[in-house]
């Protein structure tokens, strides 16, 4: 049985420096031991490397550590970027992030493979080839640094479990794994019942590939996971128990994941209006924190 540690996300981009240290202490006071080195924190560090030392000092003072990370993401930043003149900078950014997280003692990073709708002039196959080309360049560096790159299920055609497996099968290295996102998986199941759901809007001109066994399919290579709740319609990032996901089922399966290293709370506290105490208490119910 896998009892992986839990890490907690906070939307630190909304806070000033003094408030950030207070929030770190609040997590520690409620039993948390680890926080997520989020994409917003990495953006700050990439723009000013002095921020890295400051954050490490604040975390140490609160008795916390960073356990996992999430790469910056978006158009021209995701692995599927097929535009030749944009790819060198995209890859340099990811290499810099790998170096930064290694220096901070973090050994997993979730990197979005992207959304095919960002580049409508390119086919799904061309964008999948771009992902594989990106990983061809990034994985040797990840192997050298002892980092596992985790690619994530979302709710578009390019990041279904089937296409994640297509990519993984091209790279047998342990430096590549999956990040299972429970909220995204829920949308690709329950979203079928609402025409305004995220998948319906993403799968332009075709019926989404609905799937109620996403975790079961991804389980052999799940290294990291994003845990948050929603109503089955939109990606709300609610506290677990505030939506309609079956957490007993998910927590039971995750304990069987052979490669699982970390469980990430991707509840976004300020966006979801969720108290830190309530988040920690709810995760304590299903996962060890």
> How confident is the model over 86-105, as pLDDT tens digits?
999 999 999 999 999 999 99
Q: What is the C-alpha to C-alpha distance for residues 140 and 144, in angstroms, rounded to an integer?
A: 6
Is residue 145 domain-resident? yes
**What confidence score (pLDDT) does residue 189 get?**
98
Is residue 52 domain-resident? yes
Does the pLDDT at position 1 exceed 50?
Answer: no
Give the chain's mean pLDDT: 96
The mean per-residue pLDDT over the stretch 202-231 comes to: 96
Does the pLDDT at position 276 exceed 90?
Answer: yes
Least confident segment among 43-52, 101-110, 177-186: 43-52
Per-residue pLDDT reduced to its tens digit, 122-171: 999 999 999 999 999 999 999 999 999 999 999 999 999 999 999 999 99
Length of the chain: 289
pLDDT band at 2 (very low <50, low <70, confident <90, very high): low
* CATH (domain of 25): 3.20.20.150
What is the secondary structure of 34-64 as a DSSP string? Answer: EEEE-HHHHHHHHH-THHHHHHHHHHHHHT-
Is residue 247 domain-resident? yes
Is residue 99 domain-resident? yes
The mean per-residue pLDDT over the stretch 17-41 comes to: 95
Does the pLDDT at position 172 exceed 80?
Answer: yes
Domain that holds residue 104: 6-286
Which tops the pLDDT comparison, 49 or 211?
211
* Alpha-carbon separation of residue 205 from 66, 119, 160, 199, 201 (angstroms): 42, 15, 17, 12, 9
Is residue 1 domain-resident? no
- pTM greater than 0.75: yes
Share of the chain above pLDDT 90, in %: 95
Does the pLDDT at position 202 exceed 50?
Answer: yes
Does the pLDDT at position 21 exceed 60?
Answer: yes
The mean per-residue pLDDT over the stretch 6-31 comes to: 93
Binning the chain into helix, strand and coil, the percentages to the nearest 5 are 50, 15, 40
Is residue 124 domain-resident? yes
Domain count, the chain: 1
Contact between 35 and 7 under an 8 Å Cβ cutoff? The reply is yes
**What confidence score (pLDDT) does residue 56 get?**
96
**What confidence score (pLDDT) does residue 109 get?**
98
């Amino acid at each position: 049985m896998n009892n992986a540690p839990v890490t907690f996300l906070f939307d630190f981009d909304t806070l000033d420096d003094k408030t950030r240290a207070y929030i770190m202490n609040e997590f520690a006071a409620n039993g948390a031991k680890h926080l997520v080195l989020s994409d917003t924190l990495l953006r700050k560090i990439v723009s000013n490397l002095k921020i890295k030392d400051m954050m490490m000092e604040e975390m140490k003072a609160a008795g916390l550590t960073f356990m996992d990370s999430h790469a910056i993401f978006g158009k021209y930043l995701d692995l599927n970027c097929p535009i030749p003149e944009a790819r060198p900078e995209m890859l340099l950014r990811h290499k810099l992030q790998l170096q930064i997280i290694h220096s901070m003692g973090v050994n997993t990073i979730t990197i979005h493979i992207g959304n095919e709708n960002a580049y409508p002039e390119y086919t799904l196959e061309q964008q999948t080839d771009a992902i594989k080309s990106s990983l061809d360049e990034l994985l040797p560096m990840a192997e050298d640094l002892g980092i596992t790159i985790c690619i994530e299920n979302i709710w578009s055609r390019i990041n279904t479990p089937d296409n994640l497996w297509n990519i993984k099968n091209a790279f047998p290295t342990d430096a590549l794994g999956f990040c299972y996102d429970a909220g995204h998986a829920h949308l690709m199941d329950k979203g079928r019942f609402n025409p305004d759901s995220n998948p319906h809007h993403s799968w332009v001109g075709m019926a989404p590939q609905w799937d109620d066994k996403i975790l079961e399919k991804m389980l052999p290579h799940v290294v990291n996971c994003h845990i948050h709740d929603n109503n089955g319609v939109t990606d709300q990032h609610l506290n677990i128990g505030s939506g309609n996901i079956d957490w007993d089922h998910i927590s039971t399966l995750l304990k069987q994941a052979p490669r699982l290293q970390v469980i990430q709370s991707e509840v976004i506290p300020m966006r979801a209006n969720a108290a830190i105490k309530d988040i920690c208490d709810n995760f304590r119910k299903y996962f060890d924190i």
